[in-house]
Structure 1
Amino acid sequence: MAGCSGGIHPDLLEKTKKHPCYSAEAHKQYARIHLPVAPKCNIQCNYCNRKFDCVNESRPGVTSEVLTPELAKEKFQWVKSVIEDLTVVGIAGPGDALADWVHTKATIEQIKAGNPDIIFCLSTNGLLLPEYAPEIVELGIDHVTVTINALDPVIGAQIYKHVLYQGTHYEGVAAAELLWKNQEAGVRYLTERGVLVKVNIVMIKGINDGHIPDVVKKVKELGVFVTNIMPLIPAPGSAFAHFPQTSMQEVNQLRNACQLDIQQMRHCQQCRADAIGRIHEDRSQEFRMCHRPAASAIPQAPAQKQYRIAVTSKHGKLVDQHFGHATAFLIYQGNGQEFQEAGTRNVDQFCTGMEECDSDQDKRERIIDALQDCDAVLTMRIGYHAKERLRQKGIEPIEYCDTVEDGLRYVVTKLSESGAQAG
């Protein structure tokens, strides 16, 4: 059983001593990097609002940029060159690591290929664990965090607004029952194969606080290594925005009671999805891709044609604006090496919401029509549905955060790669 050090393989135990989230001592000595490559989510929790580009917020689901696996690898290499005690690469969203499994897996594979000593971990709500647990084990991911807030579906129905699973939308008790069934099966599969599982539990007064000891006892039976009882952070725009934040005194009282069953994590900072550094000294804003040194700029790619690219930029120098927030697109034309401005397309901003920026489909369609002569859109962030609609029109959406000049060359590189693969 993985719940005690005596049952852990010595090699894994040695790794765990260098994992800041799994070791109370490691967080004082070692750093981690969360790579935000997984923006999709398949569950709407009532305490969650996944707002992007919130530099002053520190809570799960928040990030200042979303990266492709390729950019994530570059960011890791940059951070690793600066922070020598970096030992862990984690993927914690900003959505769910398994809901965006293709990106999560590609990121881990690319980094692992050249960094065999790095520890990899991921966080998930567990809905898709039965489907992807075998691949997690095969990839060599030996630390997995699963958020389990309730076993009782009546309690779970108060925490989760809906669950989207295999194309079907579930709500209420049915959603909570399905979620716990998959969480239980997935956690059991992992622990039986030597993966260290940490269970996060959000303490919500008046809903699941009295139920949490039952959750702790059950996950102990499943072989979980440690539990992390966290206070509710009422997120603006969420269903629980009006709830009071759970006090740390109450959280610690519950941790003390549950410590009799399983060890408790007490140093959690409820980190952002792009957190970097040691747990108590987040350096994520220092390492935003738009701050990257010129020496690590994307290499230029040979071009075979003229490209027309639409760019979202607040002041024309950086790719620093979300697609849905733009009121104008800068149009550039060039051969991949040199580009010239070819005009500006003024549009009506269509994103006024706080999540996926798809709140006005008519405005979105008018924007896409205005860009129909472009090969690509270069933007800091774009919602899933807008991305799919652009691709249906033959326009490639590319997320990036750096200078416009480097971004344009990066777009041509990606378009050239896509063309070569298609050929």
Structure 2
Amino acid sequence: MQAPAAVAASAKVTPLPPAAERPRRVPHNKRREADAPGVWERIKDHPCYSEEAHHYFARMHVAVAPGCNIQCNYCNRKYDCSNESRPGVVSNRLTPEGAVEKVRDVAARMPQLSVVGVAGPGDGLFQADRTLRTFELLRREMPDLTLCLSTNGLALPDHIDALKALDIGHVTITINYLDPEIGAEIHPWVFHNHRRWRGVEAARILHERQMEGLERATAAGVLVKVNSVLIPGINDDHMAEVNRAVRARGAFLHNVMPLISDPAHGTVFGLDGRRGPTPAELHVVRESLSNDARLMKHCRQCRADAVGMLGEDQCQTVHAGGGCGSAKDDPDAASEAREAWRAVVADSRAAQQTDAERADALVRAVAPAGDDRLVAVCTRGGGRVNLHFGKATEFHVYAVGADGIRFAGIRRADNYCLGGYGESERLDTILSVLEDVSAMVCVKVGAGPRRRLEAAGIACHEDTRLETIETTLADWYAAAVPGSGAARAEAGPA
């Protein structure tokens, strides 16, 4: 939906400076996500903390936290809702015991499962006894799984010791502002110390508690990811300050997410016509913050009962007691299957890491100074180009050029092909989503959509080898950039 003129006028995002004036990006090496000793072991199987891990591992959210202690103008918690994929939405609420039963069932059928988290549908620490009891039971029964918490941070300072006692080493805090005047436009009230606070005072209390919780959590050795919802016209010009503040207090990752504001969701912002950022605007803001590998760009803004790989949610098909038989009744067998999967992934990711570094070095060697192009990749996972354009429901976007090959984010759109036929309206949406992209790489693309994409300035590259994304992008770049083919021949194969 288009925003009213007043909103649109106030929602412009400052463009990036010329490439030559921007900070130099770090070399492409996914392990730079973990530049502190021992951190790689803590994130290598966590799909939300490592962009690399999300190609291999699944997560599960258990909806044991229905109540919330703040109101957000971008949130509307819904129950028994199967057709919405966004935070705050679940199909059913669970008791701690019911959550463990459901995790047991999913773990028996999904060896990729590595993380179980509490992400609502309210706040995980507003009714902390439910969340902590869930973690206690899971830690006792499935100690190899990573346990994770998402919170707005208002109650976090009160529960750091309890979280550490249960070895909860990953916490996500949603922090959208530093200035309470801005915060009051996002959060109309908070409930703290048995009282409801409103307006700027409410926003001040929330801010102070968030900063305290962040500082105490990082001091306790917790890896903290900060989520920030980018809201055009409210906090878009403020995001650099938020980034500096949370990084200074030890945040491990910063995830800048787009506002979801479909009026059908019933949120205040949606009903008021407040638009979300375009993919291009979101990219500009992320790039202005991204001078290292500590900006999360693969978030899917998951439901509070999400199950499976990021981008392939199975929450509607997974039900407790689904007939796993002996596997469900034998937790040791499920644990052994997870361990076997980790061994398979270790072998695969070592080879892919080598390919990625070689491809990145090649692109850097042949790219003209200042060159920087966005390329959309069609993939069903595994870090490979392995999907037809018509079946893609999301595009993995990479920046390719003088700074090498850098993952730039996920852009979602309904797939073009439906029942064997292309949908013109869906292609219109895809073209809008890819408005700033130079090329699209896939296994196959039909003649019709190819014409539309190329007419919009998006070159199409087909590759049926099912190679790694980085290798395929290096090959595309060598063919697409004038003069780089000869330089590539001297540099050797990717």
Question: One-letter code of the match for 1:226?
Answer: L
CA change 1:153–1:25 in 2 (3 A) is same
Q: Tell me the residue number matched to 1:113.
A: 140
Query: Using the alignment, how far apart are the partners of 2:231 and 2:129 within structure 1?
Result: 32
Q: Are the equivalent residues in 2 in contact too, given 1:198–1:225 (CA < 8 A)?
A: yes
Deviation string for 1:140-166 (max 9, x for gaps)? 100000000000000000000110012
- Correspondences of 1:77-88 after superposition (within 5 Å): 77-88=104-115
Query: Using the alignment, how far apart are the partners of 2:86 and 2:35 within structure 1?
Result: 33
Q: Are the equivalent residues in 2 in contact too, given 1:227–1:262 (CA < 8 A)?
A: no
Q: Tell me the residue number matched to 1:70.
A: 97
Query: Using the alignment, how far apart are the partners of 1:294 and 1:277 within structure 2?
Result: 16
Q: Does 1:245 align with 2:276?
A: yes
Question: One-letter code of the match for 1:67?
Answer: L
Q: Are the equivalent residues in 1 in contact too, given 2:105–2:324 (CA < 8 A)?
A: no
3-state SS, counterpart of residue 223 of structure 1: coil
Q: Are the equivalent residues in 1 in contact too, given 2:67–2:121 (CA < 8 A)?
A: yes
CA change 1:265–1:221 in 2 (3 A) is same
Q: Are the equivalent residues in 1 in contact too, given 2:67–2:127 (CA < 8 A)?
A: yes
Query: Using the alignment, how far apart are the partners of 1:73 and 1:139 within structure 2?
Result: 15
Q: Are the equivalent residues in 2 in contact too, given 1:220–1:261 (CA < 8 A)?
A: no
Q: CA deviation at 1:292?
A: 2.8
Question: One-letter code of the match for 2:280?
Answer: Q
Query: Using the alignment, how far apart are the partners of 1:51 and 1:29 within structure 2?
Result: 30
Q: Tell me the residue number matched to 1:154.
A: 181
Q: CA deviation at 1:133?
A: 1.4
Q: Does 1:267 align with 2:305?
A: no
- Correspondences of 1:382-393 after superposition (within 5 Å): none
Q: Are the equivalent residues in 2 in contact too, given 1:59–1:270 (CA < 8 A)?
A: yes
Q: Tell me the residue number matched to 1:190.
A: 217
Q: Does 1:292 align with 2:322?
A: yes
Q: Are the equivalent residues in 1 in contact too, given 2:177–2:238 (CA < 8 A)?
A: yes
Q: Tell me the residue number matched to 1:170.
A: 197
Query: Which among 36, 46, 49 is matched to residue 7 of structure 1?
Result: 36
Q: Are the equivalent residues in 1 in contact too, given 2:108–2:324 (CA < 8 A)?
A: no
Q: Are the equivalent residues in 1 in contact too, given 2:139–2:166 (CA < 8 A)?
A: no
Q: CA deviation at 1:168?
A: 0.8
Query: Using the alignment, how far apart are the partners of 1:111 and 1:247 within structure 2?
Result: 39
Q: CA deviation at 1:295?
A: 5.6
- The structure where helix makes up a greater share of residues is 2
Q: Root-mean-square deviation (CA), in Å?
A: 1.9
Question: One-letter code of the match for 1:87?
Answer: S
Query: Using the alignment, how far apart are the partners of 1:161 and 1:5 within structure 2?
Result: 37
Q: Does 1:130 align with 2:157?
A: yes
> TM-score, with normalisation over the residues of structure 1?
0.67
Q: Tell me the residue number matched to 1:180.
A: 207
Q: Tell me the residue number matched to 1:342.
A: none
Q: Tell me the residue number matched to 2:78.
A: 51
Deviation string for 1:290-342 (max 9, x for gaps)? x733969xx9xxxxxxxxxxxxxxxxxxxxxxxxxxxxxxxxxxxxxxxxxxx
Q: CA deviation at 1:6?
A: 3.7
Q: Tell me the residue number matched to 1:321.
A: none
CA change 1:295–1:209 in 2 (3 A) is same
Q: Are the equivalent residues in 2 in contact too, given 1:92–1:123 (CA < 8 A)?
A: yes
Q: Tell me the residue number matched to 2:170.
A: 143
- Runs of 4+ off more than 2 Å: 3-8, 291-296
CA change 1:89–1:71 in 2 (3 A) is same
CA change 1:29–1:4 in 2 (3 A) is closer
Q: Does 1:32 align with 2:63?
A: no
Query: Using the alignment, how far apart are the partners of 1:98 and 1:262 within structure 2?
Result: 29
- Correspondences of 1:87-102 after superposition (within 5 Å): 87-102=114-129
3-state SS, counterpart of residue 229 of structure 2: strand
Q: Are the equivalent residues in 2 in contact too, given 1:36–1:67 (CA < 8 A)?
A: yes
Q: Are the equivalent residues in 2 in contact too, given 1:220–1:262 (CA < 8 A)?
A: no
Question: One-letter code of the match for 1:274?
Answer: D
3-state SS, counterpart of residue 147 of structure 2: strand
- Correspondences of 1:364-379 after superposition (within 5 Å): none
Query: Using the alignment, how far apart are the partners of 2:100 and 2:61 within structure 1?
Result: 12
Deviation string for 1:40-60 (max 9, x for gaps)? 100000111101111111100
Query: Using the alignment, how far apart are the partners of 2:301 and 2:142 within structure 1?
Result: 27
More displaced stretch, 232-241 vs 66-75: 232-241
Q: Quick one: percent identity of the two aligned structures?
A: 46
Question: One-letter code of the match for 2:322?
Answer: R
Query: Using the alignment, how far apart are the partners of 1:292 and 1:5 within structure 2?
Result: 38
3-state SS, counterpart of residue 253 of structure 1: helix
Q: CA deviation at 1:262?
A: 6.6
Q: Tell me the residue number matched to 1:22.
A: 49
Deviation string for 1:250-293 (max 9, x for gaps)? 1111111111277211110000000000101100001134x733
Q: CA deviation at 1:117?
A: 1.0
Q: CA deviation at 1:4?
A: 6.9
Q: Does 1:231 align with 2:258?
A: yes
Query: Using the alignment, how far apart are the partners of 2:313 and 2:111 within structure 1?
Result: 15
Question: One-letter code of the match for 1:84?
Answer: P
Q: Does 1:254 align with 2:281?
A: no
Query: Using the alignment, how far apart are the partners of 2:324 and 2:44 within structure 1?
Result: 35
Count of aligned positions: 293
Query: Using the alignment, how far apart are the partners of 2:156 and 2:261 within structure 1?
Result: 27
3-state SS, counterpart of residue 233 of structure 2: coil
Query: Using the alignment, how far apart are the partners of 1:52 and 1:152 within structure 2?
Result: 33
Question: One-letter code of the match for 1:50?
Answer: R
> TM-score, with normalisation over the residues of structure 2?
0.57
Q: Are the equivalent residues in 2 in contact too, given 1:44–1:160 (CA < 8 A)?
A: yes
